[in-house]
Amino acid sequence: MWTRANDIDRMFSTMNLLHSRINRLFPDFDRSFSTDPGWKIAEGAPKTNMYDLGDRLQIIAEIPGVAKEDLDIRIQGNYLELSGSRKSDAPEGYKAHRIERGSSSFTRSFTLPADVNAERVEAVLKNGILTMNLPKSEAAKPKQITVG
């Protein structure tokens, strides 16, 4: 039985030590213990939003510095893969004094909430923002049923 507050402090210190050692082995162990609001996105991967607009899905991704020729979008059923690369913008023949925006590549994959019609997908890249409209396949679209 604990008789002193010192014993309780020692118990919590031991629990914190155990938790930190488990986190070193398994970095995503017990995400709710930390102040991190959610899963982390890999460094350099575009941040995306996905919206369900009824008859279509819309994906908006931030991909600054990526040219449309360096972007690859693949869709199969309800699986979407977005990959691309940002090339170095340093002029040839010049010496770089600082490089913070180097070349990089990324790949993000998503399992979409519904199958999409890949033939009718629209993708627009403007000012570093990729907007994709993915029409749902006929089987995945919501249908109104009238009761007779």
pLDDT number for residue 3: 63
In the chain, the domains with their CATH numbers are: 1-40 (no CATH), 48-88+103-135 (2.60.40.790)
Q: What is the pLDDT along the chain (148 residues), one digit of tens a residue?
A: 556 777 777 888 888 888 788 777 776 655 555 454 444 555 667 899 999 988 899 999 999 888 889 999 999 878 899 999 888 777 778 777 777 777 788 888 889 988 888 899 999 999 999 999 999 887 766 677 788 7
pLDDT number for residue 8: 77
pLDDT number for residue 127: 92
CA distance 73 to 80: 7
pLDDT number for residue 69: 92
CA distance 29 to 26: 5
3-state SS of the chain is CCCCHHHHHHHHHHHHHHHHHHHHHCCCCCHHHCCCCCCCCCCCCCCEEEEECCCEEEEEEECCCCCHHHEEEEEECCEEEEEEEECCCCCCCCCCCCCCCCCEEEEEEEECCCCECHHHCEEEEECCEEEEEEEECCCCCCCCCCCC
Q: How far apart are the first and last CA of the chain?
A: 72
Q: Taking the CA atoms of 69, 62, 30 and 15 in sequence, report the sign of the dihedral they define.
A: positive
pLDDT number for residue 71: 92
pLDDT number for residue 39: 47
pLDDT number for residue 123: 94
CA distance 67 to 80: 19
